Each structure stands twice: as C-alpha cells, then as structure tokens.
Amino acid sequence: MNKAILYISFILFIASSCSVKKYLPAGEKLYRGATVTVKKDKDVKASKSSLTKQLEATARPKPNKFLLGQPYKVWWWYVIGESKKSKGLKVWLRKMLGEPPVLSSSINAKVNAENMQYLLENNGYFHSTVKGDTINKNYFTKAVYKANISPLYTIKSINWISDSSDLLKLLESSKKNTLLKVGNPYRLNDIEAERSRLDLRLKTKGYYFFNPEYIMAYADSTVGNRQVDLFLNIKKTTPIIAKHAYTIKSITIFPNYTLLNPPPDTSRIGIILFDSLLIQDTIHRFKPELFKRIITYRPGRKYSSKDQNTTLNRLINLGTFKFVKNRFALSKDTTKHFLNAIYYLTPSKTKSLQAEIDGFTKENSYLGSKVSINWKNRNTFKGAEQLQIKAYGSFEVSFADSLKNTNNYRVGSQVSLTFPRFVTPFFSIKESNVYPPRTQFSTGYELFIKQNFYTKNIFQLQYEFDWKESINKEHRFSPIAITYLNASNVSDSFYAAAKINPALLVNVNSEIILGSYYSYTLTTIKPNAKNKLYFKAGIDLSGNVAGLVSKAKNVREKTIFNAPFAQYVKLDAQAIYTSKLNGKTDWVNQLQVGIGIPYNNSAMLPFSKQYIIGGSSSMRGFPIHSLGPGSYLPNRNDISFLQIIGGDFKLLLNSELRFPLLGKLSGAVFVDAGNVWTKDTLLFGKAGQLKKDFYKEIAVSSGFGVRLDINILVIRFDLGIPFRKPYLPDGQRWVINQIAFGDKMWRRENLILNIAIGYPF
C-alpha cells in the first residue's frame, strides 16, 4: 500500500512539473503562501519563532500543498476534471488525490495584516503594527507581512465598579477563583474565559436569564510602566430580567408527550401533586415515585443550572424515554421572580423483540456463528425497570489440525431485571448524582457440548450494582455472583486420554463459584485531549466465607450441593495511555497485570477465571494455545482436551504507533511482550509455574497492521512476528537473528496473520 501511494505521488509530481499555469483562469495566479517577518522590541521576551508561528497561523487562505516546488494536487484536480455525477470513481479520485487551487483573487493582505495586529493587541502587545503586501513571480502570488512587536503589557489591578445590588455583590464574592491574576499578561481570551466562568456561577445561583455578554471589561493602558488597570462592570444595557435571581415556583412533568398527531395533551386536566411535583399521567404509565427520585430539586429552591443538567441527564440515562426536553417559563405574577419548570418526556416503545445472527472468530482459533432472540420490557413495574429475556444458540468449529472434531456447541438463556436505582434489602441510599445508579438481578443457564468429549451444564446467578461517581469515574460491585458447573456425558475417549494424563480430569470436575467482585474505572474527561488515560482495576473473591465456615484446608475437600467450591483471590489492573503525537498519529500503550491466588479448597483458578494470552488482542506474534504458561509449550493433547490453556498470573505490555495511510485506511506498528504463569504444577508442571526469575520467560513479538474504518466498525489485519520464544532453552529464546522472509518454512511458522474487529486495546 505504501509503495502504491509513493508511485502515485511520484507520477503526479512528474506530471505536475509540466506546470498548472495553462489551467489557471485569466488574470489569476496561484497562491504560494505567506511569509511573516518579525521585528521585536528589545524588551519583548517571546522568541521570534513563536511570534512568527502565531501570526502565520492567522493568515488566510491556506495555500495548496507543494512537493519540490510543484502543486501536484492542483494539477491532478484540473487534469481529472469535474464529473457530471455527484458520486463515482472520478469524484472519489479528484477528492482524494487532488485539491482545488487557491487563487490570488482570494487574498486580502490588508485584512490579514489588520487581523494579525488585532491578535497582538488581544494578547497584550499594545502599539504593535503589521503591514501586508503581495509579490508576484511567474504564475505565483506570495503574501508578505512585516510586524513590529512592542513590549507586552501586564495586569496591574482588577477592579469591580460595584453598587449595592445582589448581582454585583455575588460577582465580587467570586473573585477568589478568578482566572484573572495581577501580574499576568493582558489577554482577551482570559477575560472572555472569566466572563464565562462568572456566568456559570450565576446560573447556579438563580440568574437564569443572565448572559456573559452582559459583563463589560475595560482596560486602561495609560497607567504607565507597560501595565493596565482592568475595570469590570455590568453593562447599562443589561435587561432588568437578567439582574434578578429566580426561584422555582412549580415543576410540571408530561411523561407521555409525543410529537406525532394528534397534538400532545399538555393540559392540566388529570394532573396530580406528588412530593411537590405536578405529574400529568392520565394513562398511569409511570409510578409517581420514579419522578420523585429522578428530579433532583423542588419548588421553593433557587434555579440552578447544575440541578437542571443533573435532572436532564438522569432522565436521559433511564433508557425509558426516547426524547427528553424541558423549558423554564416566567411566572404570570411578574412582581415576583418565579420560574415554572416544565418537562416533556417522550417514552420509547415499551416492549421490543429483536433477533440477531452473528458470525465471529475467537482467539482460540475457532470460527462460529450465533443466533439470539432478545425480548425487552423497558417499563416492567412502571418505574423504568428493564426486564430482558434472551435465548441463544451457537456453534464453534476449527479447521486447525490440532482442533479437528472438537467443535463446541452452546444453547442457553438469560433473564435480567435492571432497576434504575439502588435496591438494597435493609437500608436505602440517597442519590442525586448526574447518572442514576443501576441494580441488576440476573440468572442464566447454558448447555455447553464439546464434541466427542463431554457436556457441561452451567448455572449463573448474579446481584450487581453499577454507578458513576462522575462522568469519568465508574464503579461496579457484585456482592453475589454464583456460578455452578456440572459435567456429564463424558466420553470413553476422554477418560482414555485422562488415564495417560490424569490432570485432564479438571475439565469435567463439578465446581461452584461463590463469588463477589468490585471494579473501578477511570477515564480522561476530554475525549479529544492530547494525552488520554483509561484505567481499570478490580478484585474478585470466591469461597472466602464458605472456607471460614467449613474450615477447608485441602484441595476439593469441602463441597456445597455436592460440588467443591472455588476458593481464590483475584486482582486485576489495566492501564491504557494514548498520546497524540501530531495530526492523526497516536502512540498507544497498554499494561495489564493479573494476580490470581487459589488456596485451600482450590489448586487453580476456575477455567472461566483463568488468564489467557496470545492471539489478536494480546501477543500477536503467537496464536492462542501456542504460548505459556511460563516456558511450557502446549502439545496436541493439551490443545484438544483442555477447555482453555491459561494461568493464574498474567503480565502483558503493548505499544502501538497508529498513523493514517489513505482515506479510511490506517496503519500501525506494534510491539507486544508478556506471558501467563500458574501457581500450582497440576496441569503444566514446573515449566508453567511462576518463579522468581519469571522475567526470563516473557515472550516478545512485533509486527505491523492495516485497519479499515467503515464507520460502524474497524476491520483489523495485524501481521505478527515472534522475537522471543520462552519455551526454547534458556539462552536461545531471542530469535530475531533467525528471521528469514525468503524461507517458506520460516514464514509458515512465524508470520502470524490476525484478523479481527475493532482495535486491540
């Protein structure tokens, strides 16, 4: 792909060297860009380069792209010509490889010079001057600007021109957190930011009709010593309505509002008063208690934008209303400063039935398909509770030699009931957060059939809380998470294999997980920030109370419902750090650490809780089932008989440079390092066990990838190459010197193509 782009660019460059002059309209020249020459006073501390860069950024328009002095994209724009159709290959080629010319008639050097001078003054460089002109050469026009920079002015004092009004008193009392500081350079942007800050504060104190434009700032630059006195005041033209704080008189809710015909019923017929809220729900679709909990303020309270936004977010995040709209209206009694709050809520369709057919690939080399049917009720008990019933069936097949005739089949069902609040048996929790919490009760059953080997019955029961502390901090807590596994229909061929390797029997051992877990997620607030962080940590416990009560000491010694219970402590942490280098190029790094400690009644983590490694989202130079644990190399029997090949401990590091290629195509170069290890020697002996020198068993792989973004999803192709193989003898594990792209056997064993949906992390 890179070579193709290089060839195309080279051809366009050669062709464009023939000149685009003949294509230009009569009397027009091609804009070649702007040059700014800066002459600064000796007392100006800012560098010439930084000042030049700021001024050049204001020059308009932006010139065309040039390569070795040639406007190759403009040439292509003219040569391919305009298409008569709005879509098609010709339109796409013109748009992707060309660009319209920037002509001399679009340049106004005088206006640009004035804008540059305004920029300097707005940043405190008073009395600076900028002059602009154009220079013509051949069929090009270039803009030239000369800037004389005077010294920077700083803020000497900040003064409010006060009166006795409550509004001015509140503004003066807000000086503690002001963005304007004595001694700082004078900047218009700082003044505008301070006006916006004050407006937000006033909006939380009842001033609904206030606007930041009503705050006037005047700078006196005649005080000498290159300083200014700032004077702040309320404009005389400010409306009376904006100078008063308003109190909420009433809150009215229309929970069955519709934009369709017939017109919505917004009359007051049938309105009931519940907890100071006026609710018009004549069809009794919702319980009044729902709005009592979701609406975070009441009549008699000062208007606050914080209360307003909190309530809107809580209503939207219920998942029950399709549209949420509100307005505030002045009370008819104009002698008093009252507002009436009105909420118009359009419910989503209460019940829905959805069928899905999915195709997928898994990291364990299986391909499969899944059919599921989902039924949902979004208002089960008239309090925005969501009841979901799901039934599904799937199959997984593999064409790998080691996995033939070991297909997997699943049939199951799940039932979940979600409440938009905390549901606790012995106490209540007051909530006023921007996001309503969720409590979910769920149960499920799955029949898992591993062809020719065994069948597993899996029962699950869970009680879970999910809540957001803020927009970027989320908590999840499950005090009860029970899983019961029971194996049946074990084949003779499986028992025959178990006679040779008794450890395989762990696949068909019944087990119950009496678990609970907690996780915390932290993300960067601004999605477009230059540096972003995603962090998630959690703890998963099982069998601790049961172990204390039963005094379990040995592996599989104690049982519940005729099944040994799992006993372990599991800690997980994941951090993803993204740094935007320039344009659309990102450097993304991931660290995963997992520590599972089985004890007393358990020798190893349950299979569903074990860590795995290898494949498209971790070690891309190693297929799943081919790496770890430790220095162990899985054999054919391991791959065929074991449900998964994993460990109790995990360490994974990934670093990936992502960059644009062409259109919707982007590329990546990556390095992966990591492995998994076991606590016990039960399955994989000492080779898989965690040791003090575990770092000697870390695998390393690298490679490159291509990603296609088709808006709804990203299709990813990553080609990984192993650099370090921990299963080789110590001292021979680095295999970089063995890379031989010309060797067919080497390519077959070491070039690992990963095809997946979405980014790896």
Q: Which residue ranges form the domains of the chain, and what is each CATH number?
A: 2-149 (no CATH), 154-243 (3.10.20.310), 247-347 (3.10.20.310)
- The 10 Å Cβ neighbour count of residue 81 is 9
For residue 719, list its beta bridge partners.
704, 753
pLDDT at 1 over 50: no
Q: Measure the CA–CA gap between 8 and 2, rounded to whole angstroms.
A: 10
Predicted local distance difference test score (pLDDT) of residue 760? 92
Which of 73-87, 140-154, 391-405, 641-655 is the most confident on average?
140-154
C-alpha span between 196 and 188 (Å, rounded): 13
How high is the pLDDT of residue 8?
57
Identify the helix (H) or strand (E) that includes residue 293. helix 288-294
Half-sphere exposure in the Cβ direction for 198 (13 Å, CA) = 31
Mean pLDDT of 459-469: 95
> Could you give the CA distance from residue 194 to residue 436 in angstroms, rounded to a whole number?
32
Instruction: Please report the pLDDT score of residue 9 as a whole number.
Output: 56
pLDDT (0 to 100) of residue 369: 87
pLDDT of residue 2: 52
pLDDT recorded at residue 614? 92
Beta-bridge partner residues of 513: 483
Mean pLDDT of the 63-78 span = 88
**Amino acid code (one letter) for 596:** G
pTM: 0.81
Among 35-49, 473-487, 501-515, the range scoring the smallest mean pLDDT is: 501-515
Band of residue 198 on the pLDDT scale cut at 50, 70, 90 = very high
Local confidence band at 523 (pLDDT 50, 70, 90 cut-offs):
very high
**pLDDT band with cut points at 50, 70 and 90 for residue 4:** low
pLDDT tens profile 585-635: 999 999 999 999 999 999 999 998 999 999 889 999 998 888 989 999 998
Question: How far is 281 from 285, CA to CA, in rounded Å?
Answer: 7
Q: How far apart are the first and last CA of the chain?
A: 24
pLDDT digits (tens, 9 = 90+) for 383-437: 999 999 999 999 988 765 555 667 889 999 999 999 999 999 877 777 768 889 9
Phi-psi group of 489: left, alpha or beta (phi > 0 → left; psi -120 to 50 → alpha; rest → beta): left
Residue 292 near residue 275 (C-beta atoms within 8 A)? yes
- Across 652-667, average pLDDT: 93
Strands 699-709 and 665-677: antiparallel
Mean pLDDT of 127-136: 96
Q: Is the pLDDT of residue 657 over 70?
A: yes
Q: How far is CA 688 from CA 571, 633, 648, in A?
A: 20, 9, 10
pLDDT bin (cut points 50, 70, 90) of residue 209 is very high
- Between 334-338, 488-492, 620-624, the lowest mean confidence (pLDDT) is in 334-338
Establish whether the linkage from the previous residue to 598 is cis, with ω within 30° of 0. Answer: no
Report residue 181's pLDDT band, with 50, 70 and 90 as the boundaries. Answer: very high
Q: Which of 56, 38, 34 is nearest to 128 (CA)?
A: 38
* Residue 16 reports pLDDT greater than 70: no
Across the range 427-455, mean pLDDT stands at 89
For residue 335, what pLDDT band results from cuts at 50, 70 and 90?
confident
